[in-house]
Each structure stands twice: as structure tokens, then as C-alpha cells.
Amino acid sequence: MDIRIELTKSPKAKPTDESNLGFGHIFTDHMFIMDYETGKGWHDARIVPYGPLDLMPSAMCLHYAQEVFEGLKAYRTANDEIQLFRPEENFKRLNVSNQRLVIPEIDPEFCVEALNKLVNIEKDWVPHTDGASLYIRPFIIACDPFLGVRPADTYKFIIILSPSGAYYSTGLNPVSIYVEQNYVRAVQGGMGFTKTGGNYAASLAGQDEAHKQNYSQVLWLDGIEKKYVEEVGSMNIFFIIDGELVTPELQGSILSGITRKSVIELAKSWGLKVSERRIAIQEVADAYDAGKLDEVFGTGTAAVISPVGTLKWGDKVMTINDNKIGPVSQRIYDTMTGMQYGKLEDKFGWIYKVTDK
């Protein structure tokens, strides 16, 4: 499919203070769009000026949340090359979400090509500062103007770009996490493994409660017994217990994070013992009491590697590694960001270089 390009006649001023970008507030000059219609497939791929969508108030996505999304980043290297991290993984995962929400699949190879074109047009928007990047948000919405509940016949696939700094204002300083015991995020058979807006809407009440208690994020437990650790609001979670890296196994209600998967591959390549298994919150508390809870960190595209300094479960408040980033978390952070920003060799074939092709 050809991609039509219409460039803006009124480019916006780019941010001058890159230390103050925040996350997800600023958007670039252009976006990618393609449409879908039953019988016609995906068509009319185009890069056009960023702006409001032509969408009816009755559009199905606004009522029944038939929507999926992804998140990845473009990084600037010291030689001014622009790099993406495993972009094909994001589009493959988008198709996993599509299947669950009965949204037509996209062609991951074509989407990587479209993203390459869009990022190349917007390359001057990729921040120059270490730790800042161009956050990329692909998403698909159901567009039929109809109030009945069924899969839609028309969709839009859109990619927007946002120059961003750290997701947490604390940066690499440890975050405080509150273990939610009342609300649940997802259950097996539900949509927890997909990236769909509804999962994040379901997380807001718990997040609100956590904020009221001065915690920045929620750690979700399983939806049935509320015993087993699942994930944090915007990240997967890892524990280092007695030297072993442990993360909850993917059993249907947890997002299959691309950073999660990369951290596991990286840690194994260093010879660390890594287990993907069911982990009870009680086991975490017992390890803490026994002095064996060495480090805790979250992983995500937006959050990168985010050390956890405090974990509150009921009345128990656990302070991890003196509320400082631990040596393994730091090594993983340095290696992942080193590859992403082109400072370290990519031994895994994870880096995709943006070109003007």
C-alpha cells in the first residue's frame, strides 16, 4: 500500500527546554492514519498534519471501548541517528490485542515501514537529551456511528508522536507502590493481556486511592484470590529474592511487556537465575522479613526500569534496598538505555535504525 504524504503548512515551535518535557503533553506536526472498512480492508494510508479527527459522537469506540493501543519510543544517538527498540514486537502484540477485541489485524511489516516514514519526517522532534525520547502511540478505534453492541465494520489506525521525558517525575529515584486489596484489574479469560483502554480505566479507582495515601502506583493482585502478584499500573514487576530474578508468569491477565521480555533475555545472557512463576504477595513479605528481598523494579516502555523503594501491603510497609536503586536494576537500566541511545553495542538485534527510505 502506498502512503500519501501531506505536510503541514504551519509547523509548530519545538520545545526548547528538554529538561521539562513531562510525559505525553506535546504532540508533533504530523500523524499517520489508515482506514478500515469490511470488504475493503485497510486502505488510504496517509501522513497528514496532526489535528482533530473526523468522528461522530456515536462512534462505537466512544461507547463500548472497542480500542487497542501500543507504546514505543524513538531515541537519538550521539551521532544524530534515530533508533527504535524492537518495533515489530509492538505491532505483533497489537494483533494479539486485535484478536481479543475482534478488531481486524494489521500487517506488522507495513506498520513498521509507515512508522519509519513518520518518524523520519518528524526526526527533528526527537529530543537530544539523555533520558528524553519521542514517545510513539499507535492505536486503533472502532468508528461506526452505531449504538448496538457488536464488532464495528469501520476502524481508524493512527500513530501520534509525543516528545517526552521520564514517565515518573521521580525519574530513576525509587517509586512507592501500594498493593491493592479491594479492586482488581483483570481476571483470566478477560482482557488483562491486551493493551486496551478499558484495562487502564479499570485501574483508576485503585490509583486514586493510592495517590490519596501518597503512593505513586498500584500493584495489582490476581482477581480471584487476591493473593498472587500480577503487574503495576503501567509496568510489569520484577523481584530479586535471594539473588534470583522473579517475575509473574504470563497466564492471561498480565500484559506481555516488551521491556519485560527483553530484561528476561538480558538477565539470562548474564547468567542470572530468572524465574517466571506465580508469586504470592505473602512470599514477597516473607522474603522481606528474612532480609532476602534484595531489589524490586518495574519495567515498561514509558517507565523504562523503575526501581521500587517502598511497597505497602495492608499495614506492612516494606522499604527496599534503603529506598535506593539496587545494583542489578542499575545494570539493567544502563544496558537497556545504553543500547537504545546507541552507546552500547546491540548484541541482540533489537535496534531498528530509522532511515529516509
Per CB under 6 A, residues contacting ligand COI are: 71, 234, 300-302
CB of 302 to ligand COI, least distance (A): 3
CB of 98 to ligand COI, least distance (A): 16
For residue 43, what are the β-bridge partners? 35
Nearest to 354 by CA among 83, 89, 113, 125: 83
CB of 41 to ligand COI, least distance (A): 27
3-state helix, strand, coil in the chain (%, to 5): 25, 30, 45
CB nearer ligand COI, residue 158 or residue 285:
158
CB nearer ligand COI, residue 302 or residue 354:
302
CB nearer ligand COI, residue 241 or residue 351:
351
Rounded CA gap, 341 and 293, in Å?
31
CB of 259 to ligand COI, least distance (A): 8
Neighbours of 173 (CB within 10 A): 14
Rounded CA gap, 22 and 122, in Å?
19
CB of 353 to ligand COI, least distance (A): 21
Rounded CA gap, 232 and 221, in Å?
9
CB of 318 to ligand COI, least distance (A): 24
328-332 long-range Cβ contacts below 8 angstroms, 24+ apart: 328/240, 328/245, 328/267, 328/272, 328/294, 328/295, 329/295, 329/297, 329/305, 331/270, 332/263, 332/266, 332/267, 332/297, 332/305
Rounded CA gap, 186 and 207, in Å?
15
**Burial of 314: CB neighbours in 10 Å, binned 0-12, 13-18, 19+:** exposed
| Residue with smallest beta-carbon separation from ligand COI | 71
Grid cell listed for 144:
461506526
CB nearer ligand COI, residue 70 or residue 222:
70
CB nearer ligand COI, residue 163 or residue 300:
300
CB nearer ligand COI, residue 191 or residue 318:
191
φ, ψ for residue 96, nearest 5 deg = -65, -45
CB of 284 to ligand COI, least distance (A): 23
CB nearer ligand COI, residue 116 or residue 217:
217
